[in-house]
Amino acid sequence: VPELLQDDATVVNIVFHALELLQNADRRQEILAGYRQMRESLGDVGVCDRAAAEIIKNVKLNTAS
């Protein structure tokens, strides 16, 4: 189910998107493929920690000079 924010998070919208995934195998596979692609681009577990460490390292390098 896509992210539904504020006014879009209605019962009708949630049911519509949930049923679409349950009843439409092609759409479900499309969504799952997108999740796999996102997972591959994010990398292994701990990517946020590694990104934060790189940012801190770069900030320290830039402030030291």
Taking the chain (65 residues) in consecutive chunks of 10 residues, what is each chunk's mean pLDDT? Answer: 88 94 95 90 85 94 81
Instruction: Give residue 63's pLDDT.
Output: 87
Cα–Cα dist 28/39, whole Å: 17
Q: Which of 34, 10, 9, 8 is nearest to 21 (CA)?
A: 34
Give the pLDDT confidence score for residue 56 in this predicted structure.
96
pLDDT at 1: 65
**pTM for the full predicted model:** 0.55
Q: Give residue 38's pLDDT.
A: 87
